[in-house]
Amino acid sequence: MKIIETNTPEETYALGRKLGEQAKPGQVYTLIGDLGVGKTVFTQGVANGLLIEEPVNSPTFTIVQVYEEGRMPFYHFDVYRIGDIEEMEEIGYEDYFYGQGLTMIEWADLIPELLPEKYWEIKIEKDLEKGFDYRRITINVFS
Ligand code: ADP
Ligand code: MG
């Protein structure tokens, strides 16, 4: 387990970029944290680390957004609005999770039964006692 503390969005973005630079094909990152905590900021850093230039936002109307232009495919899931697991089956999530790109799953705690055996969990939390822009980012590697 590793804990990183950030005090600006730029620092969170830079951490994401570092993980994007290190990512290997087939890896899965999950992203846990409340609304407004910085999941999208972090994800944009990851995309930058993969050398993706098109803008990356939360996939609001689709569960998964695919970016093909970077160092490897980037499969960006946001499962916040998912109704049930069948929706994931319909998308064919396994082709992504077990594919040759980097998979990033926001709100992955909503689909625990679908997560692969190996993945990195990135949890972002606020602590208002430490300031409005403070974030504690905990990385757990499950393998
Ligand atoms: P989420 O995707 O988790 O809902 P966003 O990434 O869209 O959250 O928004 C996070 C907001 O918090 C942004 O407005 C960002 O500028 C702000 N922010 C302030 N401090 C930080 C920090 N240390 N890390 C990330 N975002 C921060
Ligand atoms: Mg978001």
Q: State the pTM of this model.
A: 0.95
Residue 101 has pLDDT above 80, yes or no: yes
Find the mean pLDDT for residues 115-123: 97
Q: Please check the confidence at residue 112 and state whether its pLDDT lies above 80.
A: yes
Cβ of 76 closer than 6 Å to ligand 1, yes or no, is: no
Mean predicted confidence (pLDDT) in 77-104: 93
pLDDT surpassing 80 at residue 3: yes
Best mutation site among 17, 30, 41, 107 for ligand 1, i.e. most ligand atoms within 8 A of its Cβ? Answer: 41
Q: What is the mean pLDDT of the chain?
A: 95
- Ligand of minimum distance to the alpha carbon of 59: 2
Q: Provide the pLDDT for residue 59.
A: 67
* Residue 84 pLDDT exceeds 90: no
Average pLDDT over residues 21-35: 96
> Cα(2) to centroid of ligand 1, in Å?
20
Which pLDDT score is estimated for 58?
Answer: 74
Q: Which residues, in sequence order, are bridge partners of residue 138?
A: 3, 123
Percentage of residues of the chain with pLDDT beyond 70: 99
> Which residue has better confidence, 82 or 115?
115
Task: Compute the average pLDDT of residues 58-77.
Answer: 90
pLDDT at 117: 96
Decide whether any atom of ligand 1 lies within 6 Å of the 38 Cβ.
yes
Q: Are 92 and 64 in contact (CB under 8 A)?
A: no
